[in-house]
């Protein structure tokens, strides 16, 4: 993985470096070329007109050709260019050396024409004599408003070509150096990026194998560090989920074990004919019946809990009239309460209606579970009271009973799945320990919180706080 990323990064880096340097090099050599050429031209034009002025007196009537030649010789040595003089037709009249006597013949006719109209012309091109790129400057020599000839100055531009070449070499060198540098930098960059990625890769393999104990150690304080942190967070979540799942399976098996072994035990006793009398038989069957009811209740509640846990939150569904929910639940609960001669009443009822955002059936399940506990854990002939208190934006619903109460240290635990305060006592009540877990799950999915207050022997107040329905 590291090699692949390294190669990609280095290729990218090269593309950037090479294209930048090439562009810069081309631009620079173009600028240098033009700058040098321009300077050279100006210099040659000045020199050529100086020469023109110098030789002019001797050219009039072509009186001293020998003097002109020696003047040109001197100038040529001083200036490092080649010079010759032509007449208005372009024929060479004087040159510093024999070799250039006929160079004038090669001068472009347009330059001769320009010269005859008093203009200086400059031309760049290949010399026929020397086979190299050169500059020509042709300046007119004027006397009494008449063109009597011209000075031609010729200079190869090797210097410019050499400078451009030097610049190009410089660029190639710097490209090489920066490439070496880039390789080193990219090497470390790739390491910097890939080593945490490999760590994460390793961790994900551990996770896949079910080992949740490992975490990534990434010191980077950037996106890579964030990724590692997110990954660690995910690993922790998975670990937590996994623990929940294991505990859950253990709890469920534990809950199933005792009714199942009871059923098994009593059926085996009946197979072995241990039920001597019809009363024995009826007692055994009664126990078996009770245990099957407990089992099916357990399974139903588990299914219900898992359904509400995996469902979407209940907020933002529809406004529900909470008083209707409570009255409906009380109505349904009346028969069970009457069995224990318990009186259920609704107190503190506010004048106006109370709406919350949520699911009618789920909220009814909450009240039912709370009433079920009050009914179960309170003696006969006692009162169960539901109070509803409305504030600005919340409503508090409490179910109060006159039952045995819950020890203070166990109050936070009663909301856990399968938690029962007194296991022995609970067996006889036939509870599953899931009722309040269901209550909490539903209330939290309605963005509410659960509430409990209880004293041993002094009854229990248990309920919830829900945000009021807000149409805005
Ligand atoms: N009103 C109450 N009075 C006394 N104890 C209660 C009351 N409500 C709940 N509890 C205790 O909290 C435990 C958890 O309640 P719950 O989740 O409804 O399970 P269960 O199926 O046992 O009723 C119960 O076993 C009981 O011990
Ligand atoms: Mg219960």
pLDDT by residue for the chain (472 residues), tens only, comes to 556 777 888 888 888 888 988 888 888 888 887 888 888 889 889 988 888 888 888 877 766 777 777 888 887 777 777 888 888 888 888 887 655 555 555 677 888 889 899 899 988 877 666 667 788 889 999 888 889 888 888 887 776 777 778 888 888 888 888 888 888 888 888 888 888 888 889 989 999 998 888 898 888 888 888 988 999 999 999 999 899 889 889 989 988 998 999 999 999 999 998 888 999 999 999 999 999 999 999 999 999 998 898 877 776 678 999 999 999 999 999 999 999 999 999 987 888 889 999 999 999 999 999 999 999 999 999 999 999 999 999 999 999 999 989 999 999 999 999 888 876 666 666 778 999 999 999 999 999 999 999 988 889 999 999 999 987 6
Please indicate whether residue 377, judged by its CB atom, sits closer than 6 Å to ligand 1.
yes
Q: Which CATH superfamily is domain 2-161 in?
A: PAS domain (3.30.450.20)
Please indicate whether residue 401, judged by its CB atom, sits closer than 6 Å to ligand 1.
yes
130 φ/ψ angles, rounded to the nearest 5 degrees:
-110, 0
Query: 315-467 is classed in which CATH architecture?
Result: 2-Layer Sandwich (3.30)
Considering only CA atoms, which residue is closest to atom 1 of ligand 1?
374
C-alpha span between 239 and 243 (Å, rounded):
6
Mark 121-148 as b/e (b = at least 16 C-beta within 10 Å). bbeeeebeeeeeebbbbbbbbeeeeeeb
Query: Dihedral angle at the C-alpha atoms of 276, 282, 283, 285, nearest 10 degrees?
Result: 110
Asked whether 370 and 439 are in contact (CB, 8 A), the reply is yes
Asked whether 156 and 134 are in contact (CB, 8 A), the reply is yes
Among the listed residues 378, 347, 363, the one whose alpha carbon sits nearest the alpha carbon of residue 460: 378
Structure tokens at 169: 């070499």
At a CB cut-off of 8 Å and minimum separation 6, what does 262 contact?
Answer: 287, 288, 291
C-alpha span between 349 and 402 (Å, rounded):
20
DSSP, res 275: -
What confidence score (pLDDT) does residue 365 get?
95
At a CB cut-off of 8 Å and minimum separation 6, what does 430 contact?
Answer: 290, 293, 294, 297
DSSP, res 415: G
Asked whether 150 and 117 are in contact (CB, 8 A), the reply is no
Please indicate whether residue 460, judged by its CB atom, sits closer than 6 Å to ligand 1.
yes
Of 294, 340, 344, 377, which is best to mutate to test ligand 1, by the most ligand atoms within 8 angstroms of its C-beta?
A: 377
What confidence score (pLDDT) does residue 130 get?
62
Asked whether 107 and 176 are in contact (CB, 8 A), the reply is no
What confidence score (pLDDT) does residue 424 get?
65
Burial class (CB in 10 A: 0-12, 13-18, 19+), 208: exposed
Centre of ligand 1 to C-alpha 110, Å, is: 115
Asked whether 68 and 94 are in contact (CB, 8 A), the reply is yes
Please indicate whether residue 436, judged by its CB atom, sits closer than 6 Å to ligand 1.
yes
Please indicate whether residue 426, judged by its CB atom, sits closer than 6 Å to ligand 1.
yes
Which H or E run includes 378? none
Domain boundaries 212-311, corresponding CATH code: 1.10.287.130
C-alpha span between 419 and 410 (Å, rounded):
9
Please indicate whether residue 323, judged by its CB atom, sits closer than 6 Å to ligand 1.
no
Which ligand has the shortest distance to the CA of 416? 1
Structure tokens at 78: 């001083």
CB atoms within 10 A of CB 81: 20
User: Which ligand 1 atom is the nearest neighbour of the CA of 434?
Assistant: 17
Structure tokens at 49: 């007109």
Centre of ligand 2 to C-alpha 447, Å, is: 22
Whether this model's pTM surpasses 0.75? no
Considering only CA atoms, which residue is closest to atom 13 of ligand 1?
420
C-alpha span between 225 and 192 (Å, rounded):
11
Centre of ligand 1 to C-alpha 430, Å, is: 11
Centre of ligand 2 to C-alpha 282, Å, is: 28
Please indicate whether residue 120, judged by its CB atom, sits closer than 6 Å to ligand 1.
no
At a CB cut-off of 8 Å and minimum separation 6, what does 25 contact?
Answer: 167, 168, 171
C-alpha span between 343 and 103 (Å, rounded):
133
Centre of ligand 1 to C-alpha 261, Å, is: 24
Give the angle subtended at the CA of 407 by the CAs of 401 and 409, to the nearest 5°: 135
DSSP, res 466: E
Boundaries of every domain in the chain: 2-161, 212-311, 315-467
C-alpha span between 235 and 238 (Å, rounded):
5
95 three-state secondary structure = strand
Of 255, 295, 373, which is best to mutate to test ligand 1, by the most ligand atoms within 8 angstroms of its C-beta?
A: 373
- Identify the residue whose tokens are 């209707």: 324
Considering only CA atoms, which residue is closest to atom 12 of ligand 1?
414
Please indicate whether residue 374, judged by its CB atom, sits closer than 6 Å to ligand 1.
yes
Please indicate whether residue 255, judged by its CB atom, sits closer than 6 Å to ligand 1.
no
| Dihedral (CA of 178, 179, 185, 186) sign | positive
Which ligand has the shortest distance to the CA of 423? 1
User: Which ligand 1 atom is the nearest neighbour of the CA of 459?
Assistant: 3
DSSP, res 222: S
Please indicate whether residue 251, judged by its CB atom, sits closer than 6 Å to ligand 1.
no
């Amino acid at each position: 993985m590291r090699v692949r990323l390294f190669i990609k990064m280095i290729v990218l880096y090269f593309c950037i470096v090479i294209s930048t340097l090439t562009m810069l090099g081309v631009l620079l050599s173009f600028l240098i070329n033009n700058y040098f050429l321009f300077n050279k031209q100006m210099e040659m034009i000045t020199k050529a007109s100086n020469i023109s002025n110098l030789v002019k007196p001797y050219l009039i009537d072509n009186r001293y050709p020998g003097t002109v030649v020696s003047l040109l010789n001197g100038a040529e040595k001083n200036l490092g260019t080649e010079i010759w003089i032509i007449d208005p037709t372009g024929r060479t009249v004087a040159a510093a050396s024999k070799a250039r006597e006929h160079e004038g013949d090669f001068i472009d006719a347009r330059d001769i024409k320009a010269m005859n109209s008093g203009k200086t012309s400059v031309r760049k091109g290949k010399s026929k004599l020397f086979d190299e790129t050169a500059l020509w400057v042709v300046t007119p020599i004027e006397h009494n408003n008449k063109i009597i000839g011209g000075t031609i100055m010729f200079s190869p531009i090797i210097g410019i070509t050499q400078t451009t070449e030097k610049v190009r070499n410089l660029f190639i060198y710097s490209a090489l150096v920066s490439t070496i540098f880039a390789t080193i930098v990219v090497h470390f960059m790739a390491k910097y990026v890939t080593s945490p990625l490999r760590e994460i890769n390793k961790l994900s393999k551990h996770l896949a194998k079910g080992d949740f104990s490992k975490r990534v150690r990434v010191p980077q304080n950037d996106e890579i560090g964030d990724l590692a942190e997110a990954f660690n967070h995910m690993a922790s979540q998975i670990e937590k989920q996994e623990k929940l799942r294991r505990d859950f399976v253990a709890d469920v098996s534990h809950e199933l074990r005792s009714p199942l072994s009871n059923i098994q035990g009593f059926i085996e006793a009946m197979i072995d004919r241990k039920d001597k009398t019809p009363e024995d038989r009826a007692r055994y069957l009664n126990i078996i019946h009770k245990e099957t009811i407990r089992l099916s209740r357990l399974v139903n509640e588990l299914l219900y809990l898992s359904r509400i846990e995996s469902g979407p939150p209940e907020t933002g569904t529809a406004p529900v009239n909470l008083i209707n929910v409570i009255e409906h639940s009380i109505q349904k609960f009346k028969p069970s309460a009457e069995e224990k001669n318990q009186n259920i009443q609704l107190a503190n009822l506010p004048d106006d209606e109370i709406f919350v955002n949520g699911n009618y059936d789920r909220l009814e399940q909450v009240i039912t579970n709370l009433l079920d506990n009050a009914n179960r854990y309170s003696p006969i002939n006692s009162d169960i009271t539901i109070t509803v208190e409305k504030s600005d934006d919340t409503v508090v619903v409490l179910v109060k009973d006159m039952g045995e109460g819950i020890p203070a240290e166990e109050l936070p635990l009663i909301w856990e799945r399968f938690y029962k305060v007194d296991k022995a006592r609970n067996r006889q009540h036939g509870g599953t320990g899931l009722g309040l877990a269901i209550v909490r799950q539903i209330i939290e999915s309605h963005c509410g919180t659960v509430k409990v207050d209880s004293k041993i022997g002094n009854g229990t107040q248990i309920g919830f706080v829900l945000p009021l329905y807000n149409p805005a």
